Structure 1
């Protein structure tokens, strides 16, 4: 099975080459299913620990969410605050997960620095503006909770938020100093290069259809008929549902997101809407986001309530929203539009699965894919190295595919319509 790369801003502007391996090893210590951020970060950690590793990617490197996202590096939860996490997991386990997630951006930027990955990395902070006084109160409280955990998170008043965004509709903003942006495809390819440089192998077009016991080892059989033996298997397949990825992929709600990059903004506009180069994502139900790339293109995204014809329609709609929200002097147009799928767990928290003896899976970045995958990959590597699942900061859950999984996109569409109505009422 070959999943080709879409035409995206990242494929057009990538500087690093896509280099992978052709010859499969006969056996390795750890076989990793999925060549995205999670799988490659896990591979890197295992190689540093002295294990032999093969990464098996069903399509091309970057054809999944790791190559399709907007490049935001955000070290917190999209839908859960610290108190909600503690209520769900208990104080000790909750704080362990909070510390892990809170250090996610630093983990990404550390890998970039250690491996000298040229991916336009900029740790300039992340801004979360509040739409309405109730949202401002919520973010003020959330910022205080993160500060109690020792994180550099503050709350800006409405005037300071206006200076950061050029927008006067917000009542304040949460500022997370650890956040930032990267070129996700170059980061992904840099991870591939780091894995191969350390002796691991990375294989494209290697969809794993079966994982079977063969004595004390696992045999991973690909759609091509080729196979590899491994002591331990890590499954890092996110929302995909092909081959052995099916069970884990069906445990989440897949959300199709459309991204656009516009023609470059003028210097005066850049100074007004992003004086410190910070990416922005507000609190509205119908989320408004934007960031700039190295050439000052505006990058934003959205979801479609009606999927038919959404590709072209969403591109125009997102560009129009950017022009209106940011009061741009001239209407912008999409230079390129692309789409990808985010995986959302029902409680918006990441989770580990034990799929068999020495076979582990991880999922649930919930819209925080870059920072969370760095940590999810590291935790999976710890499981592969034999650490007790009870001591890991991400909880292990029974794997239960969602009932009527094929209809979850319709539920997501209905929720989007409801969210837009709530925003209209709030306005």
Structure 2
């Protein structure tokens, strides 16, 4: 019996196309983008808008990777708050980073509006839920820094977070009303549709196996024997990065993000669980995140095992988290289970690399990829056109493989298990 481990609730729009559009043999593109996820498609769309000729090559199908399989939370900001960014990057670069981080959710919702994307969404904010006093103090620090910049944020009391989430066990939290939720597969599919309408050529099932630079012209070879030429190449494969660029895969630790979805909630429970439709992430070491879907299910996700799942028991930790937060859902069936691969960098920041002129690579979404990669795609396109590094919010950095990378995943798996135990003891 097949294991239902790849059955997301997200759906492509009914009019979603298959893509097999390629540049004619011998014709040179301005840019070839390897990877048809949010980062690659956003870059392609904005590059086409700047007058560039663009080819996107996707190894699988559009939306098949983490871009279509994530939790659909659109969260502005980075893992670090404004004061940290200013301290570590200096006043000029730090200020640019803070402003960029503040804009990432806007980039998504403005794109949905301006391009009339058929994407279900709710923009009522994101709640960072605190289950300890330490987490509550961290939320107060974050709130102070963002409120000072005019962001639409506020702290939540224990009573307020209980009313807004319907969940048990939180001491308070932080609400960021700039955020929201989308259907990520619909979003990725619609990005591909409007990019193609703007003149971008997109080809699915074209795995790139070789990149070579000769006299300033990039030659791109695929597994199917396709040969393309381009002035520039953007590698937008993130957690699915392989050996195309030497050492790049060793700069990230790929992790699996597992998710579950309940059956549609009965009306009496739907009225008390996330009644305003916010997204939630909690403060645990191995956090869980959750939201309601457009068809009224509760969707909950978190880190899963490092290896591929082999049975539905691999999602048991999420089911336990769901029952802990919402005991009233003990009789509501878990109908869907799925997972996607995400990438972690050691410093928890996205990395932009340019190992050779005309070759760009971006890795590391850090759990905020929907907004981050949408906004970053526009900046990468601007950089491709102008060559002005000020277009890039993050500095271009050299590729630095993680020491003993082969053992890093073993260490991460052990850390996840230890943190999960500590979280369980804290309740």
Match of 1:85 in 2: 85
Match of 1:48 in 2: 49
Is 1:227 the counterpart of 2:227? The answer is yes
Match of 2:285 in 1: 285
Contact 1:254 1:408 in 2 (8 A): no
Q: Offset of 1:66 from its aligned partner?
A: 0.5
Is 1:75 the counterpart of 2:76? The answer is yes
Q: Offset of 1:375 from its aligned partner?
A: 1.7
Task: Give the paired residue count.
Answer: 421
Match of 2:362 in 1: 362
Q: Offset of 1:120 from its aligned partner?
A: 0.5
Between the aligned partners of 2:311 and 2:281, the Cα distance in structure 1 is 22
Between the aligned partners of 2:255 and 2:90, the Cα distance in structure 1 is 29
Match of 1:236 in 2: 236
Q: Offset of 1:307 from its aligned partner?
A: 4.3
TM-score normalised by length of structure 2: 0.93
Following superposition of structure 1 onto structure 2, how do residues 124-139 of structure 1 map, counting pairs within 5 Å?
Answer: 124-139=124-139
Match of 1:393 in 2: 393
Contact 1:117 1:187 in 2 (8 A): yes
Q: Offset of 1:309 from its aligned partner?
A: 5.2
Q: Offset of 1:50 from its aligned partner?
A: 0.9
Q: Offset of 1:425 from its aligned partner?
A: 4.3
Following superposition of structure 1 onto structure 2, how do residues 244-255 of structure 1 map, counting pairs within 5 Å?
Answer: 244=244, 247-255=247-255
Contact 1:43 1:200 in 2 (8 A): yes
Tell me which moved more, 208-217 or 37-46. Answer: 208-217
Match of 1:336 in 2: 336
Contact 1:43 1:195 in 2 (8 A): yes
| 2:134 aligned counterpart, secondary structure | helix
Q: Offset of 1:372 from its aligned partner?
A: 0.7
CA-to-partner distance for each residue in 1:328-362, whole Å, 9 max, x for gaps? 25433321211111111111111210121121111
Q: Offset of 1:92 from its aligned partner?
A: 2.1
Between the aligned partners of 2:254 and 2:104, the Cα distance in structure 1 is 23
RMSD, aligned CA: 2.0
Unaligned runs of 5+ in 2: none
Is 1:20 the counterpart of 2:29? The answer is no
CA-to-partner distance for each residue in 1:211-259, whole Å, 9 max, x for gaps? 2123332111112221111111111110113351663332111111111
Change (3 A) 1:69 1:131: same
Q: Offset of 1:59 from its aligned partner?
A: 1.4
Q: Offset of 1:260 from its aligned partner?
A: 1.3
| 2:163 aligned counterpart, secondary structure | helix
Q: Offset of 1:378 from its aligned partner?
A: 1.5
Between the aligned partners of 1:50 and 1:201, the Cα distance in structure 2 is 14
Q: Offset of 1:306 from its aligned partner?
A: 7.2
CA-to-partner distance for each residue in 1:111-166, whole Å, 9 max, x for gaps? 11111111102111111111111111110110111122332121111111111012
Contact 1:320 1:332 in 2 (8 A): no
Contact 2:35 2:59 in 1 (8 A): yes
Between the aligned partners of 1:342 and 1:306, the Cα distance in structure 2 is 11
Contact 1:38 1:236 in 2 (8 A): yes
Is 1:262 the counterpart of 2:257? The answer is no
Contact 2:37 2:63 in 1 (8 A): yes
Is 1:421 the counterpart of 2:417? The answer is no
Contact 2:22 2:202 in 1 (8 A): no
Change (3 A) 1:158 1:185: same
Q: Once superposed, which parts of structure 1, at least 4 consecutive aligned residues long, lie more than 3 Å away? A: 13-16, 22-25, 304-311, 424-427
Change (3 A) 1:295 1:82: same
Between the aligned partners of 2:69 and 2:299, the Cα distance in structure 1 is 12
Is 1:58 the counterpart of 2:71? The answer is no
Q: Offset of 1:311 from its aligned partner?
A: 4.4
Match of 2:107 in 1: 107
Q: Offset of 1:196 from its aligned partner?
A: 0.8
Match of 1:161 in 2: 161
Match of 2:195 in 1: 195
Change (3 A) 1:389 1:35: same
Is 1:30 the counterpart of 2:67? The answer is no
